């Protein structure tokens, strides 16, 4: 294999390693993120692996039994401190899983609330945002982003709104998931009882206050990509958000990278993703980025 292809394959393997387990940690885990183009330090507020969505493409193994059901805040903050220090010092890249990380990716990009479920279901969400922001400020300064990766189902809750305000005050960024343009496709992909309109309303309301990143995962379902009519409807949803005053700074178009929940789900090709992104960009005028 030519050297450049070998390096590319090693990078792909890095992006596929998103295990929530790191050493003996239970809540904090580092990953080399394809979308962050660097190290993202993940915080898992759902160690019980319970989520209010049941996406067909979910890459969390919900068949396994969790050792921890509750978030222990002191332990989480101690783990965060340790992982951040390991990234800053470079010790992280002495670990076998991270030893092949290219130099350009050996940078701390963000601290991300992600994990094994929807982080905003955590009842003390606003408090944990404040505590994590404090650790970040002391160790790495304000330039490192704090990212919330969310399905937007709970953004209307009061304690979540307080958490979003704290994110705004701490170089925060919200990545809101939107995988569909129609109610029917939403139910097929995300398999939840939460109404599609609630998700749309929550994204719109949040985007009026601060710019959002939209994360949209498209895939083959039973061998078929999303129909063109669905992409059209997806574009219309984005236009509806911006027409209401919502600020959308980026639309991330990506596909399955690891083993999904359902065997009938498979990744799209790079040309298919580029086609979707081009349609979104030309129809809405919004900036897009493709991650295959």
pLDDT-derived band at 161, boundaries 50, 70, 90: very high
- Please write the tens of the pLDDT for every residue from 132-142: 999 999 999 98
pLDDT beyond 60 at 271: yes
Question: Please, what are the domains in the chain?
Answer: 1-175 (no CATH), 178-292 (3.80.30.10)
| Main-chain phi, psi angles of 111, to 5 degrees | -110, 125
**Does the pLDDT of residue 13 top 50, yes or no?**
no
Mean pLDDT of the chain: 90
Question: Other C-beta atoms within 10 Å of 256: how many?
Answer: 18
Query: What pLDDT, on the 0 to 100 scale, is given for residue 118?
Result: 96
pLDDT in tens, 27-57: 999 999 777 789 999 999 998 888 999 999 9
Distances (CA, A) of 100 to 20, 36, 105, 202, 291: 19, 17, 10, 40, 20
| Cβ-proximal residues to 57 (8 Å cutoff; 6+ apart), any chain | 189, 217, 219, 256, 260, 261, 262, 265
Residue range 276-280: average pLDDT? 98
Secondary structure string (H, E, C) spanning the chain = CCHHHHHHHHHHHHHHCCCCCCCCCCCEEEEEECCCCEEEEEEECCCCCCCCCCCCCCCCCCCCCCCCCCCCHHHHHHHHHHHHHHHHHCHHHHCCCCCCCCHHHCCEEEEEEECCCCHHHCCCHHHHHHHHHHHHHHHCCCCCEEEEEECCCCCCCHHHHHHHHHHHCCCEEEEEECCCCCHHHHHHHHCCCCCHHHHHHHHHHHHHHCCEEEEEECEEECCECCCHHHHHHHHHHHHHHHHCCCCEEEEEEECCCCCCCCCCEEECCHHHHHHHHHHHHHHHCCCEEEEC
pTM of the shown model = 0.88
């Amino acid at each position: 294999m030519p050297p450049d292809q070998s390096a590319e394959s090693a990078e792909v393997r890095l992006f596929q390693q998103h295990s929530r387990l790191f050493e003996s940690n239970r809540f904090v885990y580092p990953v080399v993120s394809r979308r962050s183009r660097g190290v993202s330090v993940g915080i898992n507020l759902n160690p019980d692996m319970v989520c209010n969505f049941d996406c067909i493409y979910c890459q969390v193994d919900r068949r396994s039994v969790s050792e921890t059901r509750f978030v222990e805040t002191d332990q989480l903050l101690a783990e965060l401190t340790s992982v951040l220090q390991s990234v800053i010092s470079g010790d992280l890249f002495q670990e076998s899983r991270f030893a092949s990380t290219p130099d350009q990716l050996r940078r701390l990009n963000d601290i991300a609330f992600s994990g094994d479920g929807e982080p905003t279901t955590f009842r003390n969400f606003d408090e944990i945002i404040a505590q994590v922001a404090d650790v970040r400020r002391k160790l790495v300064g304000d330039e490192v982003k704090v990212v919330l990766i969310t399905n937007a189902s709970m953004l209307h809750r009061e304690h979540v709104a307080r958490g979003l305000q704290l994110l705004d005050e701490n170089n925060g960024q919200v990545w809101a998931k939107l995988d569909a343009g129609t109610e029917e496709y939403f139910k097929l992909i995300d398999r939840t009882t939460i109404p599609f309109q609630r998700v749309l309303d929550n994204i719109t309301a949040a985007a009026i206050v601060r710019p959002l990143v939209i994360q949209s995962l498209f895939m083959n379902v039973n061998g078929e990509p999303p129909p063109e009519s669905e992409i059209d409807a997806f574009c219309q949803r984005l236009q509806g958000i911006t027409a209401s005053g919502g600020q959308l700074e980026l639309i991330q178009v990506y596909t399955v990278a690891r083993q999904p929940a359902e065997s009938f789900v498979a990744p799209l090709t790079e040309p298919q993703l580029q086609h979707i992104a081009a349609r979104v960009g030309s129809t809405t005028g919004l900036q897009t980025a493709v991650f295959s």
